[in-house]
């Protein structure tokens, strides 16, 4: 029996995580290295000359040129946090190493914090993921499909289901059909919206395969080729080999979300929940480095206060 090397890779064990990030000092040093990999640069004037000092157990950097004082968390997603960096790093570790999504309740229990604090921390990190993945561009062979998730009421089945959130799923594959990258986007199912989405998300050289949904015609003018295949409905449509990867990904996505979240505002925060799956999938080949990469992106993402996080959409 062949082994799936992606699933059986070592990743970053909890023991290895604690060795590397188990103290506030270690987390602080890691964040400094991520934010200023070539040494401190003043966020106001860009000068590298500085002095450091400690006040109230917090390290400050002071610029020689403009005298601006800052900390490693100021101007980042961690700004004004009352939680130690060890909690943030553990949250990032849990969210990046999990096979499925991690619920706020589970995060609360692991971190030993209040539910509201766990929710805000989680959504700030999800926003970091969403803004990073918002720049994702797919190329080569790309399978796309329309999809529906969420809804507290059953509604009808199939396309146009009320009470459910619609979104586009796209998977870049190799020529022999192996998945490479994925993208999930909540957009209206209109030709104009699909054209704008394709212009942003698909390279001009992409070769797209979709079903015959009318709005997908909007993609044709934005890519090298677009093949629309009429698949009908029911289980046989799901079995079409042309859509094997996107259907498999959608199945895994639905399992990750429905198996994790049971009472949440999916329609309001759908872009973040989709980004959580997308972020991990697109970095699945190197689980040992995914935490380091998330820390680096978080350090370069500006502050997102609670009032902003609770908005339905926050642009990157």
Q: Which of 79, 81, 39 is nearest to 63 (CA)?
A: 39
Enclosing domain of residue 19: 14-40+73-134+285-309
Tell me: do 226 and 254 sit in the same domain.
Answer: yes
Residue 86 structure tokens: 């060890």
β-bridge mates for residue 202, sequence order: 138
Tell me: do 248 and 230 sit in the same domain.
Answer: yes
* pTM for this entry: 0.90
Residue 260 lies in a domain: yes
Tell me: do 161 and 124 sit in the same domain.
Answer: no
CA 168 – CA 219 distance, rounded (Å): 12
Tell me: do 197 and 300 sit in the same domain.
Answer: no
Residue 154 lies in a domain: yes
Given this model, what pLDDT does residue 316 score?
42
CB 267 within 8 A of CB 150: yes
- 158: domain CATH number? 3.30.420
Q: Which of 80, 99, 92 is nearest to 128 (CA)?
A: 92
Residue 291 lies in a domain: yes
Q: How many domains does the chain have?
A: 2
Tell me: do 118 and 226 sit in the same domain.
Answer: no
Tell me: do 82 and 112 sit in the same domain.
Answer: yes
Tell me: do 32 and 99 sit in the same domain.
Answer: yes
Helix residue spans in the chain (DSSP H): 14-21, 24-35, 85-97, 104-111, 115-133, 191-201, 235-238, 244-258, 266-281, 290-299, 306-309
Tell me: do 130 and 148 sit in the same domain.
Answer: no
CA 148 – CA 162 distance, rounded (Å): 10
Given this model, what pLDDT does residue 154 score?
46
CB 31 within 8 A of CB 77: no
pLDDT in tens, 227-237: 999 876 655 55
Residue 193 lies in a domain: yes
CA dihedral 175, 177, 179, 183 (to 10 degrees): 80
Q: Which of 87, 124, 132 is nearest to 307 (CA)?
A: 124
Tell me: do 163 and 209 sit in the same domain.
Answer: yes
Given this model, what pLDDT does residue 230 score?
83
Residue 62 lies in a domain: no
Given this model, what pLDDT does residue 8 score?
63
Tell me: do 116 and 236 sit in the same domain.
Answer: no
CA 152 – CA 173 distance, rounded (Å): 34
Residue 60 lies in a domain: no
pLDDT in tens, 22-73: 999 999 999 999 999 999 999 999 999 999 999 999 999 999 999 999 999 9
* Torsion over CA: 259, 282, 29, 20 (sign): positive
Q: Residues in the chain with pLDDT < 50? A: 1, 152-155, 157, 316
Tell me: do 220 and 248 sit in the same domain.
Answer: yes
Coil, helix or strand at residue 268: helix
Given this model, what pLDDT does residue 105 score?
93
Tell me: do 82 and 98 sit in the same domain.
Answer: yes
């Amino acid at each position: 029996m062949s082994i799936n090397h992606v699933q059986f890779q070592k990743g970053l064990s909890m023991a290895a995580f604690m060795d590397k990030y188990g103290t506030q000092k270690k987390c602080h040093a890691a964040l400094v290295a991520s934010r200023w990999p070539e040494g401190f640069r003043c966020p106001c004037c860009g000068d590298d000359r500085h002095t450091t000092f400690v006040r109230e157990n917090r390290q400050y950097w002071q610029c020689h040129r403009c005298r601006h004082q800052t900390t490693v968390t100021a101007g980042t997603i961690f700004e004004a946090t009352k939680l130690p960096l060890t909690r943030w790093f553990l949250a990032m570790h849990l969210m990046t190493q999990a096979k499925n999504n991690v619920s706020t309740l589970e995060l609360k229990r692991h971190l030993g914090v209040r539910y509201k604090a766990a929710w805000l921390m989680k959504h700030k990190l999800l926003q970091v993921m969403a803004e990073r993945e918002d720049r994702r561009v797919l190329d080569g062979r790309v399978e796309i499909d329309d999809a529906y998730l969420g809804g507290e009421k059953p509604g009808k089945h199939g396309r146009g289901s009320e009470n459910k959130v619609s979104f586009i799923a796209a998977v870049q594959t190799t020529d022999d059909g192996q998945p490479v990258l994925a993208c999930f986007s909540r957009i209206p199912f209109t030709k104009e919206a699909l054209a704008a989405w394709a212009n942003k998300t698909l390279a001009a050289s992409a070769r797209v395969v979709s079903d015959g949904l009318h709005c997908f015609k909007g993609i044709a003018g934005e890519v090298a080729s677009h093949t629309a295949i009429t698949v009908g409905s029911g289980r046989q449509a799901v079995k079409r080999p042309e859509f094997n990867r996107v259907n498999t990904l959608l199945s895994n996505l639905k399992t990750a979300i429905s198996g994790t979240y049971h009472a949440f505002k999916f329609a309001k925060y759908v872009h973040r929940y989709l980004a959580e799956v997308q972020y991990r999938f697109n970095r699945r080949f190197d689980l040992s480095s995914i935490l380091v990469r998330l820390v680096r992106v978080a350090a370069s993402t500006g502050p997102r206060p609670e009032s902003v996080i609770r908005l339905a959409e926050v642009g990157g």
